[in-house]
Amino acid sequence: MSEESEGVSGRRGTGGKSIVRPYGDTTGDGMVQVSFTLPVPHDKRAEGAAVQLANRMGMDPAMLVHAKPIGDGFTFFVVYGRVNHLVDLSTVQVVERDFPLLSAKEVNAVVKRRLRRKLSVVGACIGTDAHTVGIDAILNVKGIAGEKGLEYYRELKVTNLGAQVSVPELVEAARRERADAVLVSQVVTQRDAHLHNTREMSAAFREALPAGRRPLLIVGGPRFDETMTAELGVDRIFGRGTTPGEVASYLVHALVTSRKAGVA
């Protein structure tokens, strides 16, 4: 697919605006910037290796704009260059929000009227993950960016187990708290630890609880693919930039309003 054949200039093409290409200095010039690390000491050969790698990634010309040693035998690079790849927006697959975004007042009102009890939420970072910033931002009353966390919601009962919680401990806490939903944050991704931990967690809940009594399983973190819910055995995946209000609205949608009358 060439620029000429598609008539592309930045963002233009089939259907008006479905084909796009990167933009750097001028619209539609195809310029991109990438950064990476090579396990080599910083010298001229290392810089040449970085350019060669960028060429093989499809950047032509590739210009090395930054190189810095970041430890014994490692160098960090930033390369700027042109690519000929195009993106067809009509073929892009993402998970878009399929539930209404509610205010805290609306969430409380729906839970109180329809559920007639507090909605129980248990959250944790599981495995060796000690990065609680994400789960705390969603659960703790202080929230994030001026938006209050789920502890602020009067009709939600929140239990935050913190960091490095084992899967058996999480399952037991969910039983004890009669959790309607379990929220797990995973930031550590080395060797796909976030995927392994999530699969272990979902399998443990399937083994421990029958389908009708199993809590809603939700995971979140910066490296999750939101389309992998079925593969990971969870009900929802939230990615970067998720707010407490989005999570609360989803809980109401999944556990209250989307269920038939008398089930919730």
Positions marked catalytic: 142
* Spatial CA neighbour of 131 closest among 171, 188, 204, 184: 188
Within 13 A of 21's CA, how many CA atoms are on the CB side? 23
CA distance from start to end of the chain: 52
Alpha helices in the chain (DSSP H): 3-6, 44-56, 104-110, 133-139, 167-176, 193-208, 229-232, 244-252
Contacts from 186-190 at CB under 8 Å and sequence distance 24+? 186/125, 186/126, 186/127, 186/129, 186/219, 186/220, 186/221, 186/223, 186/224, 187/125, 187/129, 187/131, 187/133, 187/134, 187/221, 187/222, 188/127, 188/128, 188/129, 188/131, 189/221, 189/223
Helix and strand element counts for the chain (H, E): 8, 11
Residue position matching structure tokens 């609680």: 132
The distance of Cα 242 from the centroid of its chain, to the nearest Å, equals: 8
